[in-house]
Homo-oligomer: A and B are copies of this chain.
Amino acid sequence: MKKTLVAALLATTVAVPAQADVLVDNVTGITMDADGKVKRFEALVIDDDGKVAKVIGRGEDRPRTDYREDGKGRVMLPGMIDAHVHVMGVGFGALTLDLSETNSLEEALDKIRTFAAENEARPWILGRGWNQEKWGLGRFPTAAELDSAVADRPVYLERVDGHAGWANSLAMQAAGITAQSKSPAGGRIETLPGSKQPSGVFVDAAEELMRKAIPAPRANERDLALAEAQKVFHRYGITAVADMGTTIEDWQAFRRAGDMGALNLRIMSYASGPEQMVLIGGSGPSPWLYDDKLRMNGVKLYLDGALGSRGAWLKRPYADDPGNYGLPLQTPAQLRNILVRAAQGGFQPAVHAIGTAANAEVLNAVNEIAESFDGDRRWRIEHAQIIDPVDLPKIAENGIIASMQPLHQTSDRLMAEARLGMDRLEGAYAWNTVLQLGGKLAFGSDAPVEPSDVFAGYAAAITRMDANGQPFGGWLPKERVNREEALAGFTSDAAYAGFAEGRFGRLLPGERADFILVDRDPLMATPEEIRATKVLETWVGGRKVYDAD
């Protein structure tokens, strides 16, 4: 009887003003402590505000509470924090039809038909992942074939590699594609054999002809995407994120969810550039809203591009493209101007910098500007991937936070070797060096670019090896961090990077009761085991928001 009551009480995700206090007993609890060390505990008391009231160690007395929840000895960790994501990108990704597992055209058409039927309200059906080679088709699929699955709405599906797209007739009509349409430079409108009639497949630059016809998502689709994103993060055991590049449309979706009591993910928002910063925040960051579920912290800026596309801005040319240094996306004056404007308003700047020149530039700019501003600014560099070793000490000088993504290292490894050459990798993904020099680290995933799989990221952080154990012994293994540092990077240090310390990120009295129950101990398990961690339950503010069962 009592158990049913507890379950009913705890299962709800709707905010109610009054909530009883709860003892979650019999857990293998792990958290970063106030002194930055790991603390272990056996039970936790949640107060009626959804905060941690008490953390109970081995052999300590349990207080009287209204309810008791048996943790059954499972491992309790603080809710994980992903310090660099694109919330709405994750949500829209989750709403998109995934054809990557299909093995024939027929199977794909069935899947498309079913998806369209299940998503009647969507004006366009969008998807990705098809591969005519895997299907054994020997040719591209056609618009007519796609029409046979969905004829009442436009459909547009990207190929697995993103280099081609497959449209149905209504989609081509919406894009104004006819037999008279010309292929653009760098692209090709495929045609039916022996005909000028477009077949339905658009290659490379021709994809843009279709993409620009896809309408911007409607408000209800944004709301749906946010709901989906929350589910994705909760499944991974993530209870808080930093959203990098929030637009006013994104912000409005966050607020709608907050207003309706449907926001169960803590979002630290960084506006997409200075105009959105002012539109969203006004003359400064927002207050913490909805019981610490949402705050507009600052502004995301791009100083360069990515290594893969050779957009990252380097001090010396690309090893595999002599003469190419990549490109800065802001002039020195622009960067300083935006940093000053942000800092004047108390906004926290988060600057995307990948290449050595970009990282040097932002480090120098902050150094020039920082002394004009009092207080605790926590300038952030996002990615901070390839830093010239001579610049690395500058990270600590102004209390700069390096917001880094362990899975980028394992994904990028071979590409980084090609772009830079083996002799220029000192200072690449230099997590440990950042810490050893006194810098601050925050870990994230850059989802949806990488999956927000925090235990895969944790395993990469402590091994510098990928899911296949490659390379054996780890890539530049001196840049491994230890298990405690990795845990802090995904919890307390990620909270600090967003001015959220004391609010969430640790299981200490007064902080929000955000925690997860998992099936193994990340401080004890092997890296392979850690990658296979199963998140059993996710709790936000003392309420269960995900249960694997």
Q: Give residues in A with beta carbon < 8 Å to B.
A: 218-220, 222-223, 248-249, 252-253, 255-256, 259-260, 278-283, 286-287, 289
Contact = CB atoms under 8 A, between A and B. Distances in A.
A4 B252 CA distance: 43
A299 B219 CA distance: 16
Contacts of A282: 219-220, 222-223, 252-253, 256
Given A220-B283, A223-B283, A252-B279, 19 more contacts: A218-B278, A218-B283, A219-B278, A219-B279, A219-B281, A219-B282, A219-B283, A220-B282, A222-B282, A223-B282, A248-B248, A248-B279, A249-B279, A252-B280, A252-B282, A253-B282, A255-B255, A259-B286, A260-B287
Nearest to A223: B282
A259 to B, nearest CB: 5
Contacts of A287: 259-260
A255 B218 CA distance: 22
A420 B279 CA distance: 44
Residue picked from A252, A253, A287, A289, most chain B C-beta under 10 Å: A252
A197 to B, nearest CB: 34
The number of times this chain is found in the oligomer is 2
22 contacts: A218-B278, A218-B283, A219-B278, A219-B281, A219-B282, A219-B283, A220-B282, A220-B283, A222-B282, A223-B282, A223-B283, A248-B248, A252-B279, A252-B280, A252-B282, A253-B282, A255-B255, A256-B282, A256-B286, A259-B286, A259-B289, A260-B287
Nearest to A222: B282
A280 B259 CA distance: 13
A220 B346 CA distance: 13
A256 B255 CA distance: 12
Contacts of A248: 248, 279
A259 B255 CA distance: 11
A269 to B, nearest CB: 13
Contacts of A278: 218-219
A110 to B, nearest CB: 31
Contacts of A218: 278, 283
Contacts of A223: 282-283
Nearest to A257: B282
Contacts of A289: 259
A346 B421 CA distance: 60
Nearest to A261: B287
A252 B279 CA distance: 7
Nearest to A224: B283
Contacts of A255: 255
Contacts of A252: 279-280, 282
Nearest to A288: B259
Contacts of A279: 219, 248-249, 252
Contacts of A219: 278-279, 281-283
The 3 A-B residue pairs whose C-beta atoms are closest, nearest first, are A219-B282, A220-B283, A219-B283
A296 to B, nearest CB: 10
A59 to B, nearest CB: 38
A288 B222 CA distance: 21
Nearest to A282: B219
A256 B279 CA distance: 11
A248 B247 CA distance: 13
* Most chain B CB neighbours (cut-off 10 Å) among A222, A253, A259, A260: A259
Contacts of A222: 282
A249 B283 CA distance: 12
A138 B278 CA distance: 45
A282 B248 CA distance: 12
A278 B252 CA distance: 10
A279 B282 CA distance: 17
A125 to B, nearest CB: 19
A299 to B, nearest CB: 13
A289 B279 CA distance: 20
A447 B128 CA distance: 53
A30 B100 CA distance: 70
A248 B260 CA distance: 19
A260 B283 CA distance: 13
Contacts of A281: 219
A16 to B, nearest CB: 15
A222 B223 CA distance: 28
Contacts of A283: 218-220, 223
A220 B283 CA distance: 5
A279 B256 CA distance: 11
A222 B283 CA distance: 10
A520 B219 CA distance: 49
Contacts of A286: 256, 259
A223 B345 CA distance: 14
A282 B256 CA distance: 8
Contacts of A220: 282-283
